[in-house]
Structure 1
Amino acid sequence: MEKIKMTTPLVEMDGDEMTRILWKMIKDELLTPFIDLKTDYYDLGLEYRNETDDQVTIDSANATKKYGVAVKCATITPNAARVKEYNLKEMWKSPNGTIRAILDGTVFRAPIVVKGIEPCVKNWKKPITIARHAYGDVYKASEMKIPGPGKCELVYTAEDGTETRELIHNFTGAGVVQGQHNLCNSIESFAKSCFNYALDTKQDLWFATKDTISKNMTIHLKTFSRKSLTQSIRKNLKKPESPISIH
């Protein structure tokens, strides 16, 4: 039997522990017998990430941007116990977070619906897909331990040297602080990808934020998302009636 030819390499991101074994089994038993498999291989196992100072993660993300398709195995994001267990140079950040930041992508989590596997809700034929913005926020946050009493501020310094300050908290004792960010063009990209995905899969699109708590960030998120969705609708939908509804 002639194998299926591949014209574009698949970026192959190997993982940690059992996923390495499972992925090898999948390749050996389900892929290579039928496909002339071409891959651009990157070892994202924790030990090699540590050896390369996490450069391998960055390289794999850039390769994905180049080729447009990748498969990634599950990887360990180390905590304090893993740092000790693997004798790591430092507590490396989540590979998923690093890759998502470079790709500026959107994570779509959709259930796999196949015959022969019954879901918990047996009559659920059109399950929900969750879309999550994959850039910035907690994955690119800066964190700091506060040793004792003092004032913590959020400071923006413009190119002309002008400073804008916002009080975060007056600490009366030890604590922690975290700073998050996002970009307007990344928010617009997120909205467009959600619209395109909804259009391709013919799913209604719902947008939800916690604007009663996080007022500035979520208001900007809603504003730029609404702007991007409006542009996408005008560009992609020639007929006035839309095949999907947007909420």
Structure 2
Amino acid sequence: MPKIQMKTALVEMDGDEMTRIIWQMVKDHLICPFVELRSEYFDLGLENRDRTGDQVTVDSAEATRRLGVAVKCATITPNVQRVEEYGLHQMWKSPNGTIRAILDGTVFRTPIVVGGIEPVVRNWKKPITIARHAYGDVYKNAEMRIPGTGRAELVFTAADGSETRELIHEFSGPGVLQGMHNLDSSIGSFARSCLEYALVTRQDLWFASKDTISKTYDHRFKDVFAEVFEAEYRERFEAAGIEYFYTLIDDAVARVMKAEGGFIWACKNYDGDVMSDMLSSAFGSLAMMTSVLVSPEGSFEYEAAHGTVQRHYYRHLKGEPTSTNSVATIFAWSGALRKRGEMDATPDLVSFANALERATLGTIEAGRMTADLARITTLAGAQALDTEGFILAVAERLRAELA
């Protein structure tokens, strides 16, 4: 059959380790045989990021701003061990953090629900969407190792040269120090993105932080959300029959465990990072979650929310079989292609993305899945496929869908 044409390129950000292997398999078997793929390619593999002084990451984010749609593979955020393993010039910051800082906006992560994979929490009947703030906090931090006795202060120097000081700690011995920041403008964009998304999806919105302990930092998030909601959204929420409410992060965790789902849970940057992994795992697998960064300018970056599957990669390098779940990577591609089709008014591309998702879920519901799902499925006689075997099974079903 003739390939589906794209009017505009999307940004393609390649990644690391086992997810890089999967990335190429997905392109070879599920995308390029059916779509005349147009992309601006950026290699965000750790070696190339080190080679370019991480400029490639900045360039990929700027290209996303320009083209409006990106799809990203999982990437390594190096620690000390990775610096030694790869011989890096320095311990580069999280590429996701760099991209999110440039694009701002909010990351929306939703579990991929499929028949035969039941949530660990029995009362969860509907997906729970995590809305994660995409700027600042620990991802834009400054850190310092304290060698010994001394005083640490938080100092702000205003434009006129005046200083404001706050004592952090009187160190009597060695320790560590960390500084974080955020911006009212970014918090406001976060609030509006969450409130708009709640209206579009007609779901209640929760926001949680720890303002009882962080009486300035976290409290500012609480205040901005409240101000934006009261000034711009209260009447619209009432008309839609949905609710916004604020609670402490520990109370939110307790409520989530007893809820049925079907709502959006807005979290600060690090909270959202942790809670999205908890939710995806509880709904079935870390590889069963969609993730999209939505910028205030209207750019969209789709990614797999899990890591690079290091353990499977080392087995792959030894020639040993692997059974790595590729669903999140497939859905990153389908999400990006669908959005590209919507923005360019190319319905064939939208239809293809929908067919790719149906084929993926249909393959699992037919009892053909990777080992992580085969271990927990309620389907009888499930077949555990290897990494490429699952992608080929999806391709087989996709061809039937398109025919």
**Secondary structure class of the residue paired with 2:206:** coil
Residue 177 of structure 1 is matched in structure 2 by 177
Q: Distance in 1 between matches of 2:122 and 2:33?
A: 35
Q: Distance in 2 between matches of 1:76 and 1:240?
A: 43
Corresponding letter in the other structure for 1:101: A
Residue 111 of structure 1 is matched in structure 2 by 111
Residue 133 of structure 2 is matched in structure 1 by 133
Q: Distance in 2 between matches of 1:145 and 1:67?
A: 41
Q: Distance in 2 between matches of 1:231 and 1:4?
A: 45
Q: Distance in 2 between matches of 1:43 and 1:223?
A: 40
Residue 152 of structure 1 is matched in structure 2 by 152
- Structure 1: runs of 5+ lacking an equivalent: none
Greater shift in the superposed pair: 93-102 or 61-70? 61-70
Deviation at 1:174, TM superposition (A): 0.7
Deviation at 1:72, TM superposition (A): 0.8
State the identity as a percent.
65
Deviation at 1:218, TM superposition (A): 1.5
Q: Distance in 1 between matches of 2:203 and 2:115?
A: 21
Residue 54 of structure 2 is matched in structure 1 by 54
- Structure 2: runs of 5+ lacking an equivalent: 246-403
Residue 240 of structure 2 is matched in structure 1 by 242
Residue 335 of structure 2 is matched in structure 1 by none
| Count of aligned pairs | 245
**1:28-70 deviation line (CA, Å, top 9, x unaligned):** 1111111111111000000000000000000011111111211
TM-score (norm 2): 0.58
Q: Contact (CA 8 Å) 1:195, 1:232: kept in 2 or not? A: no
More helix by percentage: 2
Corresponding letter in the other structure for 2:187: I
Q: Contact (CA 8 Å) 2:199, 2:240: kept in 1 or not? A: no
Residue 2 of structure 2 is matched in structure 1 by 2
Residue 218 of structure 1 is matched in structure 2 by 218
Q: Distance in 2 between matches of 1:165 and 1:194?
A: 34
Q: Contact (CA 8 Å) 2:14, 2:41: kept in 1 or not? A: yes
Residue 16 of structure 1 is matched in structure 2 by 16
**Secondary structure class of the residue paired with 2:208:** coil
Relative to structure 1, the CA distance from residue 232 to residue 112 in structure 2 (aligned partners, 3 Å threshold; closer, same or farther) is farther
Larger RCO (CA under 8 A, 6+ residues apart): 2
Relative to structure 1, the CA distance from residue 169 to residue 66 in structure 2 (aligned partners, 3 Å threshold; closer, same or farther) is same
Deviation at 1:113, TM superposition (A): 1.6
**1:121-156 deviation line (CA, Å, top 9, x unaligned):** 566332211111110100000001111100000000
Residue 255 of structure 2 is matched in structure 1 by none
**1:89-109 deviation line (CA, Å, top 9, x unaligned):** 001011011111011121222
**Secondary structure class of the residue paired with 2:155:** strand
Corresponding letter in the other structure for 2:173: G
